[in-house]
Amino acid sequence: MENSINFSSNAVRSISKLMDKVGATCDQLIGALEVSKDGVSSYGVRITDNAMSTEFVDRVVGYLLLLKKHMFDLRKNVRTHMNFQEQHQVAHIVEHLLETQDKLKAKMIESNYFNNTYGYLVNDIFEMMDAVVRKLPVK
C-alpha cells in the first residue's frame, strides 16, 4: 500500500486564493519599484535620489519573481490526493520558497529607505506565504 495523504478540495482552494494574493502583492511591489523617475515626476512626486541602488532594486525584484515562481510550482503540485513522492516534491518547493524568503529578508536589511517605504508589502507577502505553508500537508 502506497503512503499517501488526502487533502480537502476546500484546503486546496484556500491555498490557491492565498497564492493569488501573494502573486498580486508581488506584482504591486514590482510595479512600484519599476516606476521611473520621469513617470513619478509627472505626478508631482519627488523621489529621493540614490535612496536605493539599481542593483538593490534588481535583486529585490529578482527575489520577488523567484517567490512567484515557487508559488506557481507549488500550485501546480498541490493536489487533493498526494502520494509520498508528490509530498516530497511539495516539501522541496517549500524549502526553496523559504530559502528565497530568507534571502529577501536579509536583502531588505540593507536599505532603511526600502524597509520604511515598502517593508509592509513584503511583510504582507511573508505572512501570506506562511499561511500557505501552514495549510500544506507536508512539514
Q: What is d(CA 139, CA 136) in angstroms, rounded to the nearest whole number?
A: 7
Top-ranked range on mean pLDDT: pick from 24-28, 52-56, 60-64, 104-108: 104-108
Task: Tell me the pLDDT tens digit for each residue of 65-103.
Answer: 898 899 888 888 887 777 888 888 888 998 999 999 999
Q: What is d(CA 68, CA 46) in angstroms, rounded to the nearest whole number?
A: 30
Instruction: Sketch the domain layout of the chain as residue ranges.
Output: 8-135
**Tally of CA atoms within 13 A in the half-sphere of 83 that contains its CB:** 3
Among the CATH numbers 3.40.50, 3.30.450, 1.20.1440, 1.10.10, which is that of 8-135?
1.20.1440
Q: What is the pLDDT of residue 105?
A: 92
